[in-house]
Amino acid sequence: MKKLINNPNNVVDEMIEGYVKAYPQYVKQLSENKRSLVTAKETREGKVGVLIGGGSGHEPAFMGYVGDGMADGVAVGNIFASPPPDPILEVTRTIDKGAGVVYVYGNYAGDVMNFGMAADLADLEYGTKVGMVLVTDDVASAPKEEIEKRRGIAGEFFVTKAAGAAAEKGYDLEDVVRVAKKANDHTRTMGVGLTPCSLPQTGKPSFELEENEMEIGLGHHGEPGIEKGELQPADQVAERLVNDILADMPLEQGEKVAVLVNGLGSTTRMELYIMFRRVEQILTEKGIEIHRSYVGDYSTSLEMGGCSVTLIKLDDELTELVDQPADCPMYVQK
């Protein structure tokens, strides 16, 4: 597959260099490690720091969400690979303002290991207290009785939003962790894959689908889904995704949600709005209020075709946090 790159083995560092040059008012690169980015704005003493991170290839996640009301720093890994402990530790040290740091990251083996090591080192070397929030929103990746095994995908956006807003409002470390975990517990995502992505180093498709096939529950790295079958119209796909979410996280009439219809990289806004149209109809028919909606590329998989639907069930506290302003290069909310 064709790509606008130079050296296939240097795409991540060149991407980060370009990103920092494009948004100097938002982010700065730490000198010791090219993979460590922090907010360019001064943060106040006594504020809990929020650190996110993961592999590259999911842009605008994760570095696109460093800014006011979201994360204070990000550690960037290779494509679809966890960042090692060193950049995580460097970001931790930089954003710690005396109140501790919360790590928000997806439930993948490499991330669990490396963020865990960085947290131990932060405590040992700097005395920094770290809270850990593991995102597990992917309904397709494990049954409900094994929810702790689920992957983190697009729902990480809402968990980061809750953590960042809480930290901005002055919550202490324990409470930022609490509301971020509550956001995760209230968030579910289902996705569908239509076409594969390809790694720059190989140029080969990450998985195979026939021209008339789709895969329900496909992971962001091409992990197998729960069902491969004939391509369906958008309305039927939306119904399947929403119904699977509601079977896992039942919602009563009168409850409210925020909705994210997320593109995986090459799916057009036209298609995403067609998907949202049916998602809105389904929820309205069930008497479920959509408090806020988000449509676009929020967490991608290089040039993969497809999309995901995420619902976060809102109580009063989560509603207030989701409504808080945010100002990042890839996401602005007034």
User: Which residues are annotated as catalytic?
Assistant: 58, 221
Taking each helix axis from N to C terminus, what angle separates 85-95 and 109-126, rounded to the nearest 10 degrees?
50
* Cβ neighbours of 24 (radius 10 Å): 10
Q: What is the amino acid identity at position 19?
A: Y
Nearest to 37 by CA among 121, 79, 85, 95: 95
Report the relative pairing of strands 326-328 and 101-106 from DSSP bridges: unpaired
Q: Which two tokens stand for residue 176?
A: 């930022």
Q: Are 241 and 309 within 8 A, CB to CB?
A: yes
Q: Which of 203-208's residues contact partners 24+ apart within 8 Å by CB, and which partners?
A: 203/1, 203/3, 205/1, 206/304
Cα–Cα distance, 86 to 102 (Å, whole number): 16
H-helix segments, 62-172: 85-95, 109-126, 156-168
Angle at 115 between CA 111 and CA 118, to 5 degrees: 150
Q: Which two tokens stand for residue 204?
A: 């080969």
Q: How far is CA 196 from the centre of its chain?
A: 19
Phi, psi of 185 (to 5 degrees): -65, -25
Buried-state track 80-90, b at ≥16 Cβ within 10 A, e below 16: bbbbbbbbbbb
Cα–Cα distance, 167 to 162 (Å, whole number): 9
* Cβ neighbours of 139 (radius 10 Å): 26
Looking at residue 155, the DSSP 8-state letter turns out to be T
Residue found under tokens 């962001």:
220
